[in-house]
Structure 1
Amino acid sequence: MNQLHSFQAVPSTRNAFDAYSTLPEPPRPQSTHAPRAHTQQPIVTGTSVLGIKYEGGVMLAADNLASYGSLARFKDIQRLHPLGDNTCLAVAGDMSDFQYMTKLLDATLRADRSVSLTDTHPPFSPQNIYTYLSNLYYARRSKVNPLWNAILVGGWDKEKKESFLAYVDLLGTTYSAPTLATGIGAHIAQPLLREAYEAKAGVDGKGPLLTGQEAEELLDTCMKVLFYRDARSLNKYQIATISNDGVKISDSKSSETEWGFAEGLRGYGPQTQ
C-alpha cells in the first residue's frame, strides 16, 4: 500500500522556469549601502571677483568666464547675482554649486515675500543674507560636503543707511572689509584696491570714500591687471553697482590691452640671442 507523503512548500527566490533549469542560480545583488561620495574637486570654475565700497554704495566686479579645467570653455557666464532690491553676490569657484546656492536663496526670498504679504517684518537685508550664507557654508563644510565657492556679498542697508560688503568661502570663513577680493585677486588686485581706498579715506577709513566714477575706473584697472596675470581670467567682465536706488549690473565690457611688450620677454632657459 502506497503511503502518502506530505511535502511542505519552501519559499524560494527562483521562479517556475528556474526550477527546471540546470543553470546555476545568478548571484544575489550586493548591498547598495556603499559609502557616500562627495565632490572633492571643482570641474567648471570661475576665477577672482572684486568688491569695494564707494560713496553711496558698493561695487562688485566679475568676468564672464567659466573654465573647464584649464580650458576657457564658457565665455558668457554672469557671476553677479542680484538678490532682492539692494543685495548682490559676486561668486567665484564651482559653477554648479553657484547655481545650487542661488536657486536656494531665490526660493528662500520668494517664501519670505509671500510671508511679508501677511506680516509687517522688513525684507531680508544684506546682513541677513550674509548670515544665512555663513551658516549654510559652515554647515556643509561640517558635513564634509562643502559648496566650493568664495562669495562677496555687497549691498545697501536701507534701515542703517550704509553700505555692506563681506566675504564667505567654502570653509565658512567670514569677514568684512571696505575692499575685498577672492582667489588670485586677493594677491594681485587687493593691494591696488586697498592702496586707492586708503589714499583717499585714510588708513582708518574715516575720510571721504571714492566717488562712483573713481571706484569704477579702479575696478577697470584691476580687471585689466588680472587679465594680464591670471591664466583663468577673461577680458570680458561686468560691474554691479548697489546703492539706495537698487542693483544695476552693467553689460559686458572689455579693457584695452597691449601685448607688444611680450616680444621682448625671455624665459629662464638659455638665451639664443
Structure 2
Amino acid sequence: MIETPTHTTEPIVTGSSVLGVQCVDGVVLACDTLASYGSLARFQRITRLHQPAPGVVIAGGGEYSDLQQLFRITDNIFRQEFCQEDGYELSPRALHSYLARVLYGRRSRMDPLYNSLAVAGKGRFLGCIDLYGTAFESEAVATGIGALLALPLIRKQWHAALAMDEGVRLLEECLRVLYYRDCRALRSVQVAKVSDSGEVLISEPYELSNLQWKVAQAAEEV
C-alpha cells in the first residue's frame, strides 16, 4: 500500500499574515519579514513579497519553502509567456486563477502547498487564495490570523476614495496590532504598492514606529 506523504501537512518554517487593500489609485500589500522555525523567530530578514512580472505582486504566508516553490512557478509562467513572443500578456486576474488551480490540484492529491496568497496587480486587482485553492477578489484581504485580527480593522476604515498613502498607513496600523497580538509577527515589515497603471514599488524592510505598550502595563496591574 502506498502511503500518502505527510511532511507537507506539517509546516516547519512559516510566515504569518499578509494584508492587502484596494485603493482609488492602486493596491497596497504588506507583511512582516519573519519566518518562524516552530515558535522560534529564526529568520528575521526574509521577503514574502515577489514581483514575477511588471504590474503584478504576490505575497504569501505559511510554509516558506512552499512559498519559494510558488514563486518559481510564477517566474516560469511569465518566462514561457515572454518566449512565446505572441504579444499576449498574462493578466493579474489570470495569474490569480492559475495559482488557485495549482493549489487546488496539490490539495486534491493530498500533497498541498501549505500557503495562503494575496495577488495584487494593475487595474486595481486584489485577490486572495487559501491552501485549498479557494479564491476570491475583494477590496480588502488578509491571510492567517490577520483575517481575524486585522481584516475587521481594514474594513471598518476602508472607503472608496482611499489613496495608496492612506492605505499604507492603514496597513501599518494593522501590522502594529498583529505585532502586539500575534506571537509569530515581527515589527520589521515590507510594503508593496501597485499603481492602477502597473507601476510597482516594493519597499526595503523597515521597522514599525510608535509602538505602545501601556496596555501591557495595565494588564499586569489587574
TM bin, normalised by shorter chain, reads: over 0.9
SS at match of 2:194: strand
1:17 aligned residue: none
Structure whose CA Rg is larger: 1
Matches within 5 A, 1:169-180: 169-180=130-141
Matches of 2:2 and 2:165, distance apart in 1: 57
TM value normalised by structure 2:
0.94
Residue of 19, 27, 31 corresponding to 1:58: 27
Q: Which runs of 4+ in 1 moved over 6 A?
A: none
1:259 aligned residue: 213
Is structure 2 residue 200 aligned with structure 1 residue 247? yes
More strand by share: 2
SS at match of 2:201: strand
- Structure 1: 5+ residue stretches without partners: 1-32, 157-161, 202-208
- Structure 2: 5+ residue stretches without partners: none
| Deviation readout 1:78-130 (Å, 9 max, x if unpaired) | 000112101101100000100111111111211110102xx23x211101101
Amino acid in the other structure paired with 1:263: Q
TM value normalised by structure 1:
0.77
SS at match of 2:206: coil
Is structure 2 residue 78 aligned with structure 1 residue 109? yes
Over aligned residue pairs, what C-alpha RMSD do you find?
1.6
Q: Which has the higher contact order (CA 8 A, sep 6+)?
A: 2
Identity, in percent, stands at: 39
Matches within 5 A, 1:1-273: 35-39=3-7, 40-116=9-85, 119-120=86-87, 122-156=88-122, 162-197=123-158, 200-201=159-160, 209-243=161-195, 244-256=197-209, 257-266=211-220
> CA distance change for structure 1 residues 181 and 133 in 2, over 3 Å: closer, same or farther?
same
